[in-house]
Amino acid sequence: MSTRAPIGQRLKEYEQQEAERILGACTRCGKCYEVCPMAQYSKAPRGDSKAVVGGVLAVLRGEAGTPEALGWIGVCTRSGVCVPACPENVNPKMMMRLARMTALGGRDRPAQLTPKEDPDYFDRVRAFAKLQLTDDELKEWT
Partner 1 sequence: MSEEVTFWYGCNVLRHGDIIHSCLDILRALGYEPSPVGGVDYCCGTVKDANQSAAGGMATRTVGKLNARGTPVVVWCPSCHSHMHEFMQQGAERRFDMSYLVELLHAKRAQLAPLLLHEVPLRVFLHQHVGFNDLVPVNRMVPELLALIPGVKVLEPTYTAPGYMCASFAALPKALEDIHNNTVRAAKAAGADAVVTIFHQCYRELVGLDAAGAISVYNYIQLIARSMGLPYEDEYKAWKRAGDGATELIGAERIAKVGVQFYERAILPELKKRPKLQNSDPGS
Which part of the chain contacts partner 1 (CB under 8 A), choosing from 24-32, 48-56, 60-68, 94-102? 94-102
**Binds partner 1 by CB under 8 A, chosen from 24, 45, 136, 141:** 141
DSSP 16-59: HHHHHHHHHH-----HHHHH-TTGGG-SSPP--HHHHHHHHHHH
Shortest distance, position 10 Cβ to partner 1, whole Å: 5
Which part of the chain contacts partner 1 (CB under 8 A), choosing from 25-33, 46-54, 56-64, 103-111? 103-111
User: Which amino acid would we find at residue 28?
Assistant: R
**In contact, 18 and 25? CB cutoff 8 Å:** no
Shortest distance, position 134 Cβ to partner 1, whole Å: 9
**In contact, 42 and 71? CB cutoff 8 Å:** yes
| CA 68 centroid distance within chain | 16
**Binds partner 1 by CB under 8 A, chosen from 22, 86, 107, 112:** 107
Q: Does 27 bind partner 1 (CB under 8 A)?
A: no
